[in-house]
Amino acid sequence: MGVEKTDEELMLAYAQGDVRAFDALYGRQRGMLYRFILRSVPDRASADELYQETWSRLIASRTRYRVEAKFSTWLLQIAHNLIVDSFRRARPQAGSEETETVMRELDAPESDRPEQVLSEFEQRRRLQVALEGLPSEQREAFVLRVESGLGLEEIAAVTGAGHETVKSRLRYAFAKIREKFAE
């Protein structure tokens, strides 16, 4: 039994002409990348387009790939840039006023948040609604955290934001989702 290659090794192998390495790498990353994009854009058609474009960019820049970070970070960074571009083309970024309001409401009494009594189905539904209601930067940071399992530094690398900015976005996202569960 050979040791399974890492994502970075597979990417390097593909850059040197190994098509099967790409197939293996694609199989590993496809779901995560697709869901990340799908949670970040309003519709599936845009997600499909951005997903394909992300892989296209990756393929085009395969020879310039260097192992300086996790492969998934690089891949998500490409996707993030494309998502940001699509948002810029579509509509202006959401403001942060809404998140400030959410943070002020965090001080509500604990008895007013009976999330424990909600069924699991209802919890999933509320999480879905809460995610859709998040500003894109916060949602993206949240998804990168829970979907891709990235830490603050990696999210910062993907999104190009600072460490504290990422932490703040995550805090706002976490607070708003928690608020949805309290409704």
Partner 1 sequence: MTSARDKFEQEFEAFLGEEESRLAVLYRKLPRPEPDARLDAAVHSMAHRALNPQLVATPRSEAHRRRARWLPAFGAAAGLVLAAGIAWRVETARRSESDQLMAPSKDVISVRQLDAPPPPPAEAPLSPAPPPPEAAVTLQAARARGKAENAAAPVLAESAKPAAAPVDEKIAAKVAEQEDDRSTASAAGSLSKTQPAARAAPPPQPFPAQAQKRASELDAVERKQIMAAGAWQNLHDRDTGESAKTAGHKAKALDDKSPTAAPASASASVAGSAPPAPAMAQPSTSREAPVPTSSAQSGQAASRADVGNETARRESAPSANAMGGKAADAPARSTDPNAGLYPEHWLANIRTMLKEDHHDEAVRSLAEFRKMYPAYHLPDDLRDLK
List residues binding partner 1 (CB under 8 A): 14, 17, 19, 22-23, 26, 30-31, 34-35, 38, 44, 48, 51-52, 55-56, 59-60, 62, 106-110, 120, 123-124, 127-128, 145-147, 149, 151-152, 167, 170-171, 174-175, 177-178
Token pair in block for residue 29:
């990353």
**Least distance (Å) from partner 1 to the CB of residue 88?**
24
Residue 86, Cα to own-chain centre: how many angstroms? 15
Counting runs of H as helices and runs of E as strands, what totals does the chain give? 9, 0
Cα–Cα distances in angstroms (integers) from residue 156 to residues 6, 31, 35, 39, 45, in the given order: 22, 22, 19, 18, 27
Q: Of the two residues 92 and 109, which places its CB atom closer to partner 1 in the complex?
A: 109
Closer of 1 and 60 to partner 1 (Cβ): 60
Q: Among candidates 16, 11, 135, 6, which has minimal Cα distance to 75?
A: 11
Nearer to partner 1, 1 or 63 (CB): 63
Instruction: Give me the residue label for tokens 């790409």.
Output: 22
Q: At closest approach, how far in Å is the CB of 109 from partner 1?
A: 7
Place of tokens 């990422």: 166
* Closest CB 110 distance from partner 1, rounded Å: 6
Q: Encoding tokens for residue 77?
A: 């960074």
- Whichever of 3 and 107 has its CB closer to partner 1, that residue is 107
Q: C-beta of 148: minimal distance to partner 1 in Å?
A: 11
